[in-house]
Structure 1
Amino acid sequence: MTFDICVRLERPCEICVAPYGFRHHMTLSNNTHMFSDMVKRADVSGNLDAPEGGFDAIMQSVVCREHIGWREQARRLLVFSTDASFHYAGDGKLGGIVKPNDGRCHLSREGFYTESSYQDYPSIEQINLSVKKNSINVIFAVTESTIDIYKQLAANIEGSSVGKLEGDSSNIVSLIKEQYEQISSTVEMKHNASSAVSIKFYTRCLNSTGALVNTNKCGNIKVGDLIQFKVEVEVLKCPKNRDEHKQTIQIYPVGINESLIIDLEMLCECNCEKPGDRFYEENSPRCNHKGTYICGICECYPRAFGRKCECSTEEASRNITDATCVRPDGPPGVKCSNRGDCVCGKCQCHARKNDNERVYGPYCECDNFSCEHHDGKLCSGPDHGECDCGVCRCTEEWTGTNCACRKSNATCYAPDTSDGLLCSGHGVCECGVCKCDTTEDGRYSGKFCERCPTCSDRCIEYKDCVQCQMYRTGPLKDEHDCATNCTKFTPIPVKEVVANEENNEFKCAYYDEDECIFTYVYYFDNDNKLQVKAQENRECREKIFLPFIVIGVIAAVVLLGLAILLLWKLLTTIHDRREFARFEKEKMMAKWDTGENPIYKQATSTFKNPTYSGKG
């Protein structure tokens, strides 16, 4: 029996060589013919049990970088093809091998793995760490019978994937291509931070205008696409081991040999906690001489308590209770209005993050920030009033719950009128603003309700003054008449006249004696002063000269006739030249002399005696 096992180990089959753990045949190269030849000449072997030592092969292929020929700046793929399960750490003990795998390169000059009989198989975690360290994507091309177990394995090896291999390996090329496209079209960010540090990734992936999403993975990526990740680093706790207060964190995309290195130093203690610092003061007056002032906080001595150590256990034993911190007219049992702490029978109100905001009162019932707002301003702004205990205290000129209303009605009287009616008699004045009435014909409008639904505006009233002041035209174009009659306003020149309805601006447009149109707007400013904005230049029609049009038409007809004659002359000249050139060409192609008759033949004949030499 022992003899039979030894024979099978030396030669598992007739064409097999002795079993070996792993052999490196060929360094990575572009020579496909050499690769094909090496595959054909590779020795076939076998083993006595079903699982294979593929982990040894993966480990040596990953760590023996110089032998394999891995490039630094390249995406590295390792294809592992098999139809059987695998041995892992611990199985070596069945053969008497107890030495753990050291995860190092052990290849001989011939490419054989030399530690198969001396070191145990690598563990799954060792494979995972080596793959991560060397930025390699592993593709498991396995048959259907083992695909489930390799899917479980791939879930524990970062950057690995599994594909189904046909029994005759006919789909190996398409499988590798499919897996590569999946790997290269996905970017997944990882890190090696400890549990004391939380790292979150935010990205928009390919949606540049979308919102940031908390994810470390983006898919459907093509070559040239730019993906940006925002990294949020948060220290959750200070490790008990002081050596871990300084950490080097590596953030990297899976399968790519690039990374971001973060040197993190945790500040787990402050200098102000140590004696001798200026913020460390024993028996401090800030703590009523009953505690130590440390980093801005009082650490009270025994029998003293409170924010500033103002209370003692002796005082607490008296009739001082929390009931004195409950507002008599407030909810029962609510101390300090839930906005402070009851210390020694008195409320100490909580501080606000905003230094301009404060909570105060015997029961912390008051504040200076919870009053009504108007246009986003507290009590309509400091010029109108201020907030005191939840109520707006308005200045003399303003009133209302938010100090937005004027006390005076002066702003509701239309200027430049003699009737003196409030809101022109067509509305009521509320908070210094006219609220116009509505009639059967419609609603009055304007800042002072001066515009009725069926009445005309005041454009005609200001027309003559705008003409004379801006363009020196109209019935008041005389300088003396203009200065005498137009004293209510001075037009403001603008390039384009646009009426702002929110400011109650009214747009007017007229033609003058030169058939030019001029435009202007009028309105009343905050001081109820009439303002007029007029267009700088009038818009005049261009004059049409009829004789020029007639002459232009005649000239165009003559020029068109001449153009037609010239075109006809050009075409006939070109045609004649082509015919003459054709004639000349046919003349030159004649093969006989035109001076002789081509069919003429002489009447005499000449013969030469071939034997006559011309002698005797």
Structure 2
Amino acid sequence: MLFSIVLISTLVVINAQFGIDKAALYQNPCTSKTSCSACIQTQKCAWCMQPDFGDRPRCFQPDLKPATTCPEEFVVNPDNEEIMIRNWALSRGGQVLTGGGGIASGGTYEEEHQSSGSMSGHGSSASGGSAAGSASGSGHGSVVQVSPQHVNLKLRINEKHSMKVSYAQAEDYPVDLYYLMDLSKSMEDDKEKLSHLGNLLSDTMRNITSNFRLGFGSFVDKVLMPYVSTVPKKLQTPCDGCEAPYGYKNHMSLSVDTNKFAENVRDAHVSGNLDAPEGGFDAIMQAVVCKDHIGWRDRARRLLVFSTDAGFHYAGDGKLGGVITPNDGECHMANNMYTHSTIQDYPSISQINLKVKENAINIIFAVTQSQHEVYKKLSSHIEGSSSAVLSEDSSNVVELVRDEYNKITSSVEMKDTASGSVKVTYWSKCLGDTRMQTSKCDGLKVGDVVAFETEIVVTSCPADPKDRKQTFQIYPVGVGEALTVDLEMLCHCDCESSGPTFEMNSPLCKGSGTLACGICECHEGFFGRNCECNNKDLGESGLDAFKCRPDNTTDVECSGRGNCICGQCHCNIRDNPEEIISGQFCECDNFSCDRHNSILCSGPDHGVCECGTCKCHDGWQGSACECSSSIDECKASNGEICSGHGSCVCGRCECEIKEDVRYSGKYCEKCPTCPGRCDELRACVECQMYKKGPLKDEKDCASNCTLFVPISVEHVEYNEDEDEHLCTFYDEDECRYRFVYNETVEKNGTVTLHVRAQENPECPPKVFLLGIVLGVIAAIVLIGMAMLLLWKLLTTIHDRREFARFEKERMMAKWDTGENPIYKQATSTFKNPTYAGK
């Protein structure tokens, strides 16, 4: 128990020994830092490691005047530092600058130069190189699209460091295009079309770059139920003209002999499966990570065209077939076949995204219209990918690949692999004149140079010192080049472990501690500014450790404003000699009292600051002695203080506020919310002015209304400043009338009541209700009769028109009106012409 008390006391003394001042803490964040490491981790702070610096705060702001008196040779104030390791010039028109400064041409892109800033998983760092600012090239003809390539940085916490990164797309840059195709039965016509368009695809890409390689692979799905039928016969021929199902097959590695592409596509056979989604993610993962099998080049634009008309399985779907082992993201190829199709689950989207970023590959999802929305959303989660609509028979594949390649190469997006302790922000003008915060520029052409200004900020120091040296990359998406940044975070002071101000068992620490950065780090059992106290100095009960605390309710010694040295408080000394900390426990001071208009205790004429409280002189009061104690300014005209409705505070009236009554005015003489005498005077005003109300009888009115006689006015106006009160009421006829009253005190003390009333009340116009009702009834009858007459008129006109039409048609009839034209008699009569007339 005694050891715990001593340990706590020692820690508190060490933390308090630099004179932390609470008032200064809010103004200067440096003064609260008690170690060199904590000091330089605070923005714009410096540390003084002078051994005999005294009680003053060692952590200070060099720019804050007056500055500390620490000698310059003892100031620890590291600055951000940038050292350029490699800065080769950007390629221009397919040519690069040689080491000697001349132009080198004719070098092939196959001649790789591993230290030229190429990126493998954005984790490799280049070594060696030219001096800072040099414009030398690789000397091997390598193309440079990102400049600079390698930088060393030393940064302090929360201090921005700006650095320029340039990008230019080189002319005739190599392109590797791997065509990954779904060869399920539904894609049979697409395969045939692609085999015919293979040469056209090669020719089209060669128009873009002369250094072009093409490869081909296919996929179906895992050979498990329920993905494919496992009936032995179906495993051999799942459909007519189909070959056995498989997960992923590499038919043709990337090759300059693109004539073989059409042949390989033509020779590939379709297969069949059961469910709608396909195992495309397995194929993408293997095509991306199996660099040697596919033949991806380090220095080339890598395109993976993924062609399908169906959806995809992703991580977790493998459980349906009994596959529970997660995908490890490694290459598992043998004889150009994926060997772990039935062993590992499908990869997740995040795994695909990670591997695509690490290998700098652009995926183009060439899918049919029905699947386009799904793959469009998928492409938003995979860096550097895009999606486009493939026709039902893949006839537009050449145009699709060309257009998507142009989209990819016409824009650049900068990203980084910085950890959570580092924040990188990008600014650029792109190809315009306006600087804006962006990491992406569009509309680029071959040879256009885009400059990005990066702001790098270390936001926090990692707890593990090993993590304070990091390497990360700033890279354009889909390009196998990057700027490698070796970052050292300035979180530690060298004087804490070495240097002239580091000494173990230093005499300045009484031989019982280590001098580090000017302060003593005491050995176990010793404490004090110079380790001058030890456990033997404590009494037998150990109570001396509590002599620097006012009671047992706090662990803070000397109120946090002094040093507890062997059981006695030594208060801190302020930079301003007029500011003094005092008291047995350093609990008092003469500078932290309340202020008025930024003046302590309103100035020496009003009061003085004693132990944090203003002691006011005679005639002044208030927490900052800002108020006069005189009450003369609060007397109303009747001599009462605040009219008897308030109190005088600081020379001004503070009026009373009750439940329904609120006084106001300079002397609380006004009461807008008081009930007043309106209700009391109402009956007399009604009977005297309008012969209405409960006292409308002349005798009752004369006997009860003797205090005043109202003055008749046409319009009632009142003046609030003369203490007049306005009253408004409605009588039994719903007529509104208004009157004003006020009271005056005569010299003899009597109170006279004055009333001005409205001459004529404002009554609403009379409404003849019976007339309105009769009028409405009459209007309804008239409208009904009018509608009947109109109906009769219309029917009459219609009948006459129909009769006239009938007469007209009857007159135009061509048959005898006495004979039915459609009737034929049952007998026929014939005449013999020979006997005519005989």
| TM-score, structure 1 as length reference | 0.48
TM-score by length of 2: 0.36
